[in-house]
Chain A
Amino acid sequence: MEYIFDTSSIILLFERCGLKNQLLQFSQTNKLRVPIRVIEEYAKGENVTASSMTDFQKVFSVVNPTLEEVLLPYFNFDSSVGEIWVISYALRNPESCCVIDEDFGRNVATLFETRLTGAIGIIKGLKNQNLLSDNDLRQIRGRVRKSRFYLSKRLLKELDKICSSHQT
Chain B
Amino acid sequence: MDGEEILSLIFDYGLDALPRALLILLLSFTDKQNEKGMGRLYFQKAVRYFEYLREKKEIDFSNYKYGVVSYELQENMETLEECGLVTSVGRGKNIKYTLTEEGERASKELIEQYDEETIRKLKFSKSQLNDLTISELLFFMYMLLPETRVKSIEFEKLYAKKEELVSSLFKKGRISRHTASKWLGVAEKTFRDSL
List residues of chain B with CB within 8 A of the CB of A150. 170-171, 192, 195
- Among the interface residues A73, A75, A149, which one has the most CB atoms of the partner chain B within 10 A? A73
Q: Given A104-B173, A111-B124, 4 more contacts at CB 8 Å? A: A106-B173, A150-B170, A150-B192, A150-B195
**Known contacts A103-B172, A148-B193, A150-B195; A74 and B177 CB within 8 A of each other:** no
Measured in the bound complex, the distance between the Cα atoms of B192 and A46 in whole Å is 13
23 A–B contacts from the bound complex (CB under 8 Å): A45-B189, A46-B189, A70-B117, A73-B52, A73-B54, A73-B55, A73-B121, A74-B53, A76-B144, A78-B178, A81-B176, A83-B176, A103-B172, A103-B173, A104-B170, A104-B175, A104-B176, A107-B173, A111-B120, A148-B192, A148-B193, A149-B192, A150-B170
B174 close to A (CB within 8 Å): yes
Q: How far is the CB of B88 from chain A (nearest CB, A)?
A: 29
B178 lies within 8 A of A81 (CB): yes
A102 close to B (CB within 8 Å): yes
B177 lies within 8 A of A102 (CB): yes
**Chain B residues in contact with chain A, CB under 8 A?**
52-55, 117, 120-121, 123-124, 127, 144, 170-179, 189, 192-193, 195
- Count of chain A residues near B, Cβ 8 A: 24
Q: Which A-B residue pairs are the 9 nearest by beta carbons?
A: A103-B173, A150-B195, A73-B53, A81-B178, A104-B176, A104-B173, A107-B173, A148-B193, A81-B176
Measured in the bound complex, the distance between the Cα atoms of B175 and A42 in whole Å is 20
List residues of chain B with CB within 8 A of the CB of A148. 192-193, 195
Q: How far is the CB of A35 from chain B (nearest CB, A)?
A: 15
Q: How many A-B residue pairs have CB under 8 A?
A: 51
Measured in the bound complex, the distance between the Cα atoms of B53 and A111 in whole Å is 14
A8 close to B (CB within 8 Å): yes
Q: How far is the CB of A72 from chain B (nearest CB, A)?
A: 10
List residues 64-83 of chain A with CB under 8 A from any CB of chain B.
70, 73-76, 78, 80-81, 83
List residues of chain A with CB within 8 A of the CB of B124. 74, 111
List residues of chain B with CB within 8 A of the CB of A49. none
List residues of chain B with CB within 8 A of the CB of A104. 170, 173-176, 179
Measured in the bound complex, the distance between the Cα atoms of B124 and A75 in whole Å is 12
List residues of chain A with CB within 8 A of the CB of B174. 104
Measured in the bound complex, the distance between the Cα atoms of B117 and A70 in whole Å is 9
Measured in the bound complex, the distance between the Cα atoms of B188 and A80 in whole Å is 13
List residues 89-112 of chain A with CB under 8 A from any CB of chain B.
102-107, 111-112
